[in-house]
Amino acid sequence: MPSLAEPLGERVCLRDGCDTRFDVGPYRHHQLFCSDRCRYAHRDATNPKAINSNRARCRRWAAEHRNVHSSNAWLLGAPAYDVMLPAAGFTLSVSPTPRWPVELRNTRALHGMVTGLLGLPHTKPVPAFALSPIQTAFGWGVITNPETAQRVANLSAEAVLFDRDVTVATGPLVRIKTPRVTKRGHRRLRIDAITPVCVRNSSSHWTHVTPTASNLGSTLLHHLPMRLGIRVDMETLRLDLVSRETQVERVPLGGKYGNAGGWSGSCIVDTNAVGEWLLRCAESLGLGGRTAFGFGRVRISNVE
């Protein structure tokens, strides 16, 4: 934050679509918008209640004045949601260093350690937490609900990993922001699997080892919204598979967990704003099943 002695600067209005530049005076260094009109517009554009109210008003006007009683799903906006997703994370570090590196083939041991650390019951079909590979010495972090993450973050505790007593230290709390998708219409996106994506059918008897528009759309409409605590109407999602460069990958987890099958590689999809918003959420929460074992970590990028 600039001090009162700093000279006047130039700032761009924070509201989307406004490129107005304005000077920030010594008594207005906190100002983020060029005018009250832009400040209120930004507030309404990021408030779920205001967004849903405005959309309902537009639907009533279209039905009354244009005799329009249905909508084009490709032109729908992203779901209105709070500023933060119902998830938070923290890093893990273990001392002494495990004798074996923690990889997907043995994350069942890490899964058990984290289950005891969090003290959460197993819930189906929504996992209590997800393991996420990260660039740290230990290589793993945890994503769970904000209340649990706040309780466990920045702590040190005794635990057991690979049948060995260890000391687990958790990093600071990291909140996950809700992705902002402001553009509507067709959006071409690339999905890169950082870890294999396991999309199972509703009864979990078999796994889809090849991405299709059907199974990708199914997991985005059912499994992911449950983790977000919302319901997404299936008529609002549009998703077509354009191309794929994927391989079948089966990872033996061992013991009662058996093998985890899925696909690795990348694929390109054509989707609407609803689909992009869900995929951006999956980038943080994980795509498909077995996320509690580190599967389903994806990277979403735009395709020009």
The whole-number mean pLDDT for each consecutive block of 10 residues of the chain, a chain of 304 residues, reads 42 77 64 78 73 78 81 87 88 90 89 89 74 90 92 92 92 91 92 91 71 91 85 90 93 80 93 95 91 93 89
Q: Could you say which DSSP state residue 296 is in?
A: -
d(CA 155, CA 143): 16
Is-contact 173 90, C-beta < 8 A? yes
pTM flag (> 0.85): no
- Return the sign of the alpha-carbon dihedral for residues 113, 114, 115, 119: positive
Q: Strand, coil or helix: what is 146?
A: helix
C-alpha torsion 254→255→256→261, nearest 10: 10
Question: Tens digits of per-residue pLDDT, 26-57?
Answer: 555 567 778 878 877 777 666 777 777 777 78
- Return the sign of the alpha-carbon dihedral for residues 195, 201, 206, 209: negative
The whole-number pLDDT of residue 202 equals 59
**Tokens standing for residue 225:** 């919204």
The whole-number pLDDT of residue 204 equals 57
Pairing of strands 259-271, 9-12: unpaired
**Tokens standing for residue 231:** 């319901």
Is-contact 42 14, C-beta < 8 A? yes
Q: Could you say which DSSP state residue 124 is in?
A: S
